[in-house]
Structure 1
């Protein structure tokens, strides 16, 4: 019997090729989109699950409020690991990292450096903590000694024959000699260490052995014993402030108590996050890699559901509409003895067949567009053709989709009354138009919602790109690793400044785009108590920094070589001055002491105040900042004049090669670095746009099919109207207006939903747009134009048919 169902289903599909194509193509588009998004979501959810005992590994976080500044760190103090290991008996292992960014590496017998990104110090427990096996070397001793390092396979292959890597020596940043003691596989692409290729022994890093509880520089991981629970460890963390931090602080604030610290409006809260939650749930300062967002996963999941719903609605709508053509077939079947259950099985077989055909096309479509999707989403997912679970899941999904999308048409058609449909009077009485109309409203509600969302996402991105950040990022070239020029760094800058294409140049390690950062506590002269501390970023810059980046001085002056005293001068931003409780003019001449317990007790005199500028993401408020003169030389920024940038870069590279030939010439433009800060939002915008277009195509397929069917069903009515004098325009209006009313209802439903959802999304930005009415006007006009174009083609075509053809049978 089932074979008969298949045979009859196949014949019916061939009998109506146009509607079969619309159903199949619509479902295939929805399923292909669902497959791609599902694979992406699976990749996001699988982050860090590959590590051994991942369910027992946690990272310790720190939430700090001190000196008027609130910060959330993915790092804690250096002594934290030793303290928890000693105090809490349920800790199996601890491991710290100290991110070092990039380094120049070369073999001692070679002159040319290779830049290695993703270098970090780590404890020797690293391998046991994460279950990492060495391809070469001994995990028990690989990172126990100072000046040793372990490299990933890819990093090692840049420098050595892989087998002979262990025992080789490397010169790091032209200064430090390290011995390679191990080689490991490359870090998985879906791990928090994916950007790292070199791990140096923590024993090499002197700072890691200090007892400083006030600095937060070490991402610290713990592995609990199998019989432990994280709640118990959290209770212990709540005691760390009183047990360790306050006694340490008493050396600088005699007599301070935990109660006084809290009463002053400060806090230091430690908590944990599971290793497998870091990628999607953590957005803190100093993450080891750029993380994703669970919010974006939810958004993409909703989009995938929308696509599947649109495809199912298409199928239901077209199937119930076309069923009117099969009314007499159903009547005859019932007259000859078919029961309702048999008809339902027949129609579900047809929907299942379409679903499985669509599945094949969807896999083909997903395979073809996967490279484009990977580029769009900045990922590297692959379709797991060899995984049997993938195919089982697809087949089950196709079966469920076939049942879901075919259930309403099947039950709808099985209810036809033979006496009515065989008389020829049943078409007008069969009904179902109310359900079809509701489904059209659902389709366009989803499509208009996505249009509104896309417009708002791109409007926010445009706002970010065009916002006055308080500094100049256009035509600013950033040259990396200037420190590798050694004593020639200043000469390099002077030679670059002589170029006619360069307005000005500055050397520093601090940029208002992602770069090295440090926080310090400052105290106004004579007021050394924690209630009056000012916590702020402390950037070391040169005399040309403010001019090169176009910062605006609103009080006082810039650094000046004519004033020798500027070596101890300091320039603050508006937020820092506000936290001091004075005006910019009042701040001039005030003296500040930096940090606690430093041997250098020199006071810094405020000589200027710069207008606030954004040096972190627009998701964050502008924090306090200080600028002082220093010799940090990680990068050089050069403000270029308008003209041929490629020629200017070539001139700078020639100067570089004369002064630092052993280091590669690496550069980027500051606006590119700024845009990279918002990669997640840019990806979301591109994905929104792509799948919004896909949803519109699916909705239009259904509307086009319904318009075609409607025109066919009313062909004789159209002929009579033309004979009685109706124009093509009048007939087109008559055929189109019902569909436009449905789109109007969809507009009324979708606009409030779109406003609410995007208002929630915008709340994650401290600086954001106001949702303007024109967004909804554009979305409304787009929906109306799209629906008119979709419906009017078939309506005009039907209105132009010669009435003698349509009425010949009457």
Structure 2
């Protein structure tokens, strides 16, 4: 029976080609957009699920209690790994995960600023990353062996077999030779961790002093644990708490310090914990995209339904004849559902092909590596989507058509205005609700991102080039920072000779990276600690970035003491310290800082993204005295100098080539690694911009599909009143008057959909804007513009259909059958 239904269904769809084509286009586009969005959501939810032992894997968090509550940080002290290995090796597998950038090169080859991650040997056993060839370093004795990802191996060795080859890495003053002993797969697209070169973490002895490796308040990189032999997270936290008590002399200090665990499956979608090294996505984005996907496919289904009803006039006699010949309701319902299934199947196939075609564009837009490989989860999504479309889009039209009374349709007494007219108009209102909701959200998002892009950060950002200094060989932070500044100075001196260079400066950080130190100390007179950010700068930094000095003075080389013990703070830091006047005052710590004094206060400027409020910050020229007094120090990136260059040139590419030539003359094969500050800032908002772009595309798709739906309903209304139009034309009614008659009917529906969408879009955008510290006000202008778009869109389509009907000769409209 169903084979016969499908045969007849194919014939009917081919007979009504225009109806079939319009439905097919709407459903295909809807399926393509919805497939990409649902697959993206599923891809993000699947992060880190490929690890075989995922339920037992955790990221270790450093827990500190302060006057504002409990704070959890992913960055950990290196000593924790040593303590776990000595005391809990039988119950916990543990690995450091400490990424760094080093100069890496082949002998006599060009060098790269290359990411090198230091891990413990347990890393390779704990996680599900597959070794493709060779082995991995299992002990300190094998620390001269490294493992390369496929991408890194291709970068250095091309098509050659990398196993047994050597790379030179600058960890000390001399380039050290490391042998490639293993090849590992590239990190999967749904991995929170990424790597290119893996090195045994015993090499940390070369990078950091014994004091830094044994200090509980100096944190470098992440740490991951696998619990075994009955160990629970609660037991782990308690055992490590006992370690802290035994190692801290101050009981109060020990009570406010400890370690906790975060499930690996929770890491990618939890924005409550600082991201650290792992990639994190705001789950709110996934909810928004899921909602957009549902709205798009719903509007496509509504379009299918209204088109089917609009086509019912040409099918009414067919139904009458079939019923007269004995066909029952169930048979007719099955026949029309078969047509729905055919259209659904074809649109699903074309939609998936379209989604596959646009996948590279989608991945580029969303900065992801999603694949369409038809794994089980993707097949389930496609099956559910197909069933949803076939049933929701086909069920009501099938019932509607199968319910025609044969006597009425065969006597030509059928009125297409009978039946569920309110339901059909409600569906049209729902289409306009969805369209206007998406249009309003698009307008708000675009306006917000423009506000972020043009916001005055309180510091210069235009026409500034940032050059990364290659990591110097040094043991200890102070030595590393000083060497990187010394390295950068000759290049800065040469830049001053170029007429295109307006100004230069050297600092460890500014915008768009994680290179500000997070530090803290405890004042002897206070119970709670003082936490803030720290940047190492030269004497030109304040002037270079046009920071507004509101108290005191800037650094100057004319005063030698500025180099060693002076600092400049921002307004937030002055407020945190509770100082009325800052100039000449000193920071006091229970661990003495050494001589220091405040020489100036700058107006708050945004050195982090506009998702955060301005945090307290201090600028210093040398870290020696200050590091002695800090109780805690956290770094998410290497504290290496960057050279900032303010330029004025029409041909920036030619200028960059000139800068690179000067660099090579000074430093030989060391890599010239540059970027524009504005590009670095833009990277902070990639997720928000991607979401805005996707919602914009969804709004355009919804408008197109809704236009088809409105076209169907307008055709239905006009077809059922053709004789009325003919009579009105004979009686002297103008095209404008007839158009106004129909527009009144549809404008009511339009306004219902548009007006009901406004409070919903307002609430949704209020929630989305909560992520920003700087946000655009939700004024009436955006909602009035959405209202105007909906009204004009409705009037345009209905008027075009009405004008087309009025062009028909009235005698044809009034001719009796």
TM-score, normalised via structure 1 length = 0.90
Paired residue for 2:221, among 215, 218, 233?
218
**Alignment partner of 1:513: what SS?**
coil
Q: Is contact 2:366–2:690 with CA below 8 Å preserved after alignment?
A: yes
Residue of structure 1 in register with 2:424 after alignment: 436
Residue of structure 2 in register with 1:14 after alignment: 14
Query: Paired residues, what number?
Result: 784
Aligned-partner Cα distance in 2 for 1:381–1:362: 17
Write the deviation string for residues 34-85 of structure 1: whole angstroms up to 9, x where unpaired: 2212222232222222223122211022354558898642222223344456
Shift in Å at residue 205 of structure 1? 0.9
**Gap change, CA 1:702 and 1:806, over 3 Å in 2:** same
Shift in Å at residue 221 of structure 1? 0.8
Within 5 A, what are the aligned runs for 1:470-485? 470-481=458-469
Residue of structure 2 in register with 1:264 after alignment: none
Q: Check if 1:528 corresponds to 2:521.
A: no
Residue of structure 2 in register with 1:366 after alignment: 355
Q: Which moved further from structure 2: 81-90 or 501-510?
A: 81-90
Residue of structure 1 in register with 2:541 after alignment: 545
Shift in Å at residue 594 of structure 1? 6.4
Write the deviation string for residues 627-674 of structure 1: whole angstroms up to 9, x where unpaired: 111397531001113543233323322211210121122211101000
Shift in Å at residue 689 of structure 1? 0.8
**Which 5+ residue runs of structure 2 have no aligned equivalent?**
473-482, 624-638
Q: Which moved further from structure 2: 692-701 or 39-48?
A: 39-48
Within 5 A, what are the aligned runs for 1:286-305? 287-305=276-294
Within 5 A, what are the aligned runs for 1:624-703? 624-630=616-622, 634-641=641-648, 643-703=650-710
Q: Is contact 1:539–1:626 with CA below 8 Å preserved after alignment?
A: yes
Shift in Å at residue 379 of structure 1? 2.5
Q: Is contact 1:91–1:222 with CA below 8 Å preserved after alignment?
A: no
**Gap change, CA 1:68 and 1:434, over 3 Å in 2:** closer
Within 5 A, what are the aligned runs for 1:180-579? 180-192=179-191, 195-206=194-205, 207=208, 210-225=213-228, 227-228=230-231, 232-234=232-234, 236-237=236-237, 240-241=240-241, 243-245=242-244, 248-250=247-249, 256=252, 268=257, 270-282=259-271, 284-285=273-274, 287-384=276-373, 394=382, 397-427=385-415, 430-481=418-469, 489-522=488-521, 527-528=523-524, 531=527, 533-567=529-563, 568-579=565-576
Write the deviation string for residues 271-295 of structure 1: whole angstroms up to 9, x where unpaired: 3222233222246446224322222
Aligned-partner Cα distance in 1 for 2:715–2:355: 29
Q: Is contact 2:146–2:198 with CA below 8 Å preserved after alignment?
A: yes
Aligned-partner Cα distance in 1 for 2:71–2:174: 34
**Gap change, CA 1:436 and 1:67, over 3 Å in 2:** closer
**Alignment partner of 2:39: what SS?**
helix
**Alignment partner of 1:691: what SS?**
helix
**Which 5+ residue runs of structure 1 have no aligned equivalent?**
262-266
Write the deviation string for residues 529-583 of structure 1: whole angstroms up to 9, x where unpaired: 5526422222111111111112111111110011011121111111111111112
Q: Is contact 2:518–2:532 with CA below 8 Å preserved after alignment?
A: yes
Paired residue for 1:754, among 752, 756, 761?
761
Shift in Å at residue 506 of structure 1? 0.9
**Alignment partner of 2:789: what SS?**
helix
Q: Check if 1:28 corresponds to 2:28.
A: yes
Residue of structure 1 in register with 2:751 after alignment: 744
**Gap change, CA 1:790 and 1:183, over 3 Å in 2:** farther
Q: Is contact 1:84–1:91 with CA below 8 Å preserved after alignment?
A: no
Q: Is contact 2:192–2:280 with CA below 8 Å preserved after alignment?
A: no
**Gap change, CA 1:286 and 1:371, over 3 Å in 2:** closer
Shift in Å at residue 720 of structure 1? 0.8
Q: Check if 1:581 corresponds to 2:578.
A: yes
**Alignment partner of 2:613: what SS?**
coil
Q: Is contact 1:68–1:579 with CA below 8 Å preserved after alignment?
A: no
Q: Check if 1:124 corresponds to 2:112.
A: no
**Gap change, CA 1:70 and 1:607, over 3 Å in 2:** farther
Paired residue for 1:712, among 705, 708, 719?
719
Q: Which moved further from structure 2: 742-751 or 10-19?
A: 10-19
**Gap change, CA 1:521 and 1:417, over 3 Å in 2:** same
Q: Is contact 1:112–1:661 with CA below 8 Å preserved after alignment?
A: no
Q: Which moved further from structure 2: 42-51 or 351-360?
A: 42-51
Residue of structure 1 in register with 2:50 after alignment: 50
Q: Which moved further from structure 2: 310-319 or 410-419?
A: 410-419
**Alignment partner of 1:603: what SS?**
coil
**Alignment partner of 1:531: what SS?**
coil
Q: Is contact 1:732–1:796 with CA below 8 Å preserved after alignment?
A: yes
Residue of structure 2 in register with 1:115 after alignment: 113
Write the deviation string for residues 746-771 of structure 1: whole angstroms up to 9, x where unpaired: 01211111111111111122322221
Aligned-partner Cα distance in 2 for 1:345–1:74: 59
Q: Which moved further from structure 2: 621-630 or 1-10?
A: 1-10
Q: Which moved further from structure 2: 647-656 or 732-741?
A: 647-656
Q: Is contact 2:43–2:190 with CA below 8 Å preserved after alignment?
A: no
Shift in Å at residue 362 of structure 1? 1.4
Q: Is contact 2:310–2:715 with CA below 8 Å preserved after alignment?
A: no
Shift in Å at residue 686 of structure 1? 0.9
Shift in Å at residue 87 of structure 1? 6.0
Aligned-partner Cα distance in 2 for 1:222–1:805: 82
Aligned-partner Cα distance in 2 for 1:58–1:515: 23
Write the deviation string for residues 57-116 of structure 1: whole angstroms up to 9, x where unpaired: 11022354558898642222223344456666883411111221x221123x31531221
